[in-house]
A and B are shown apart, each in its own frame.
Chain A
Amino acid sequence: MLDPVMFTGGVYKHDLVTELVEDLGGYLLQKNVTQSEVILLMLVPHEDVNVLEALTKELRGKLERAPLAGTEIAVVTPTLAIHHLPHPACDVAEYLRRHGAKSNMIGMGRGVAREISQMDEYETALINEHDAVVFTFGNFVDCILKKEHLYRTLSVPVIITGGPEMKKEDLPYAFEYVPNVGRIVHRSRKATEIGSLDNIVAAVGRALDSVRASISKDPLTTTPPRVMEAVREQVPDVMQSHSPLPIALDLSGLRIKLPYDEYHEAVAGVKFDEGVTLGEIAKVMPSRMKNYILVRILPTSETGFVV
């Protein structure tokens, strides 16, 4: 069992942390260097977290649990106009990021209004590539009720956020509803506002647990972090990608930020110690996001083995 954790500390000697995690059989998911500080997102074996804690203390760093690490979450706003951005959508996305998630902001092309709002096939498919989605709606009860058709066809858990208090029964297609977020034109800074953001993180956590539970009924042939490790080793070009996170993990696979046409064969040809290639245990397909590569690991029931 791997624990998702986040290390925050100085750049000096932080390689000791990454080396230790590798030695323990954990994975480094993401490394962000901001001037003299470094943030590391890692998966560490549960029984070895104390060892890492001891090292963190020695380095005067901070080690926190990052419950959303290794997941991709979409934050969807009805449009990209000033009415919906930057507050509160950026607050939500940033808050999810601080808890370890990779959050992507998506502004719909025609998401506004009650009667004319619509979501097209491309947007639906793009959102479905994520593990969960957070919709940021406004302050009117009536509008939130009438926008149900935007997310009815999605196959990932949908968290709706809005202003007013509403009953869960009124939104049958939503996984959960988080109130007191709504449209605001200032940054979230009051305790109540930050509390609402905490509620969103908790709701997303529950949504991800439901996804994990459904995956565990038919486990994946291998784990996404292991694939990530193998791709990093055998397709070294991925480290030259300009994206801040060249390989983004989600619960059932990963997104590799390399052009599909040039690299999908190399990715499908990645070999594991057991002798199988990635192409045999996963679907390698074009992602809806730019021309990236999307890898979906097949469940055990389809491959008949676990590596």
Chain B
Amino acid sequence: MEMDPLEVFEVEMPGEDYGAEKYREIIMDILQDLGLIRSIGRLYVYVDIKVPYFSVFGMIRGKQPPLKVRDVGDLVAAEGGYQITVGGEEHMANLIRTLWETYGRDKVEQPDRNVLVVLSDESPEDLVVTDLEAEFRKDLMDALVRIAPEGFRNRRNEMGKESFFFLAAEETITSELVAEAKAKLGGMRDA
């Protein structure tokens, strides 16, 4: 489904208007810090402070393909193997680890800071350096834990392919509570 970044962003907290407004800012700040805004299409937040629980439902925008060796650097065939020249150093650690795992440490050389040489006939072109999707989910989980008020130590999360649901509460999470939160969030989506 095509969506703009955060095209819908609603926060509802009955009886806590100030909190709702502030939590909007907090969520924006944290998503911005972790660079997640562009990956989330719609976001609904419902908080009932009387129970209390904190719930979030979000729709994920598009799927990110895994990052391969050819995406992170220039690959040329060199004498006895392949040479990779990396532009930025962001993925360097992951790249070296992947090459080590595939070819073995003795087959990978690093003559310069941003240059790697693989001593093999097999092209590393299609090796997966980072699974961006998994990384995104990890960051998203981190963001949700940071966003939820700290006292809400009991957490439940359901990560789907296209959406996610997160619930945090002070007391033990029961199936009734999950159902209630889902119903409230469902109501917000239908409205």
A interface vs B, CB < 8 Å? 78-79, 81-84, 112-117, 138-143, 163-165, 182-186
List of B residues within 8 angstroms of A81 by Cβ: 150
Once A114-B170, A185-B29 are accepted as A-B contacts, the answer to whether A78 and B22 lie under 8 Å apart by CB is no
- The interface residues of chain A, by DSSP majority, are classed as loop
- Asked if B187 lies at the interface with its beta carbon under 8 angstroms from chain A, I say no
List of A residues within 8 angstroms of B150 by Cβ: 78-79, 81, 83-84, 112-113
The reply to whether A164 and B151 contact each other, CB–CB distance below 8 Å, is no
In addition to A113-B150, A185-B33, 5 A-B residue pairs with Cβ atoms within 8 Å of each other are A79-B150, A116-B151, A140-B13, A140-B19, A142-B52
The distance from the CB of A167 to the nearest CB of chain B, in whole angstroms, is 14
List of A residues within 8 angstroms of B23 by Cβ: 139
The reply to whether B18 and A163 contact each other, CB–CB distance below 8 Å, is yes
Give me 17 A-to-B residue pairs in the complex whose CB atoms sit less than 8 angstroms apart, sorted by A's number.
A83-B146, A83-B150, A84-B150, A113-B151, A114-B52, A114-B170, A116-B170, A117-B151, A138-B149, A140-B13, A140-B16, A143-B151, A164-B16, A165-B18, A182-B18, A185-B30, A185-B33
Residue in B13, B22, B29, B153 whose beta carbon sits within 8 Å of that of A113 in the complex: B153
The reply to whether A184 and B170 contact each other, CB–CB distance below 8 Å, is no
Q: Which residue of B lies closest to A112 (CB)?
A: B151
As a 0/1 sequence over residues 1 to 44 of chain B, the CB contacts with chain A under 8 angstroms (1 = contact) are: 00000000000010110110011011001100100000000000
The reply to whether B49 and A143 contact each other, CB–CB distance below 8 Å, is yes
- Asked if B50 lies at the interface with its beta carbon under 8 angstroms from chain A, I say yes
The reply to whether B18 and A142 contact each other, CB–CB distance below 8 Å, is no
* Distance between Cα atoms of A71 and B138 in the complex (Å): 45
The reply to whether B18 and A184 contact each other, CB–CB distance below 8 Å, is no
* Distance between Cα atoms of A183 and B33 in the complex (Å): 16
B interface vs A, CB < 8 Å? 13, 15-16, 18-19, 22-23, 25-26, 29-30, 33, 49-50, 52, 146, 149-153, 170-171
List of B residues within 8 angstroms of A163 by Cβ: 18-19, 22
List of B residues within 8 angstroms of A79 by Cβ: 150
- The interface residues of chain B, by DSSP majority, are classed as loop
The reply to whether A140 and B49 contact each other, CB–CB distance below 8 Å, is yes
* Distance between Cα atoms of A110 and B153 in the complex (Å): 12
* Distance between Cα atoms of A182 and B151 in the complex (Å): 15
Shortest 9 CB-CB distances between A and B: which pairs?
A113-B151, A83-B150, A164-B18, A112-B151, A185-B29, A139-B19, A139-B22, A142-B49, A112-B150
* Distance between Cα atoms of A116 and B153 in the complex (Å): 11
Q: Which residue of A lies closest to B30 (CB)?
A: A185
Q: Which residue of B lies closest to A147 (CB)?
A: B151
The distance from the CB of B142 to the nearest CB of chain A, in whole angstroms, is 10
* Distance between Cα atoms of A84 and B50 in the complex (Å): 21
The distance from the CB of B150 to the nearest CB of chain A, in whole angstroms, is 4
* Distance between Cα atoms of A241 and B190 in the complex (Å): 65
Residue in B16, B22, B29, B171 whose beta carbon sits within 8 Å of that of A142 in the complex: B16
Residue in A83, A117, A143, A184 whose beta carbon sits within 8 Å of that of B22 in the complex: A184
Q: Which residue of A lies closest to B169 (CB)?
A: A113
The reply to whether A83 and B19 contact each other, CB–CB distance below 8 Å, is no
* Distance between Cα atoms of A196 and B170 in the complex (Å): 30
Residue in A83, A84, A141 whose beta carbon sits within 8 Å of that of B18 in the complex: A141
* Distance between Cα atoms of A85 and B19 in the complex (Å): 18
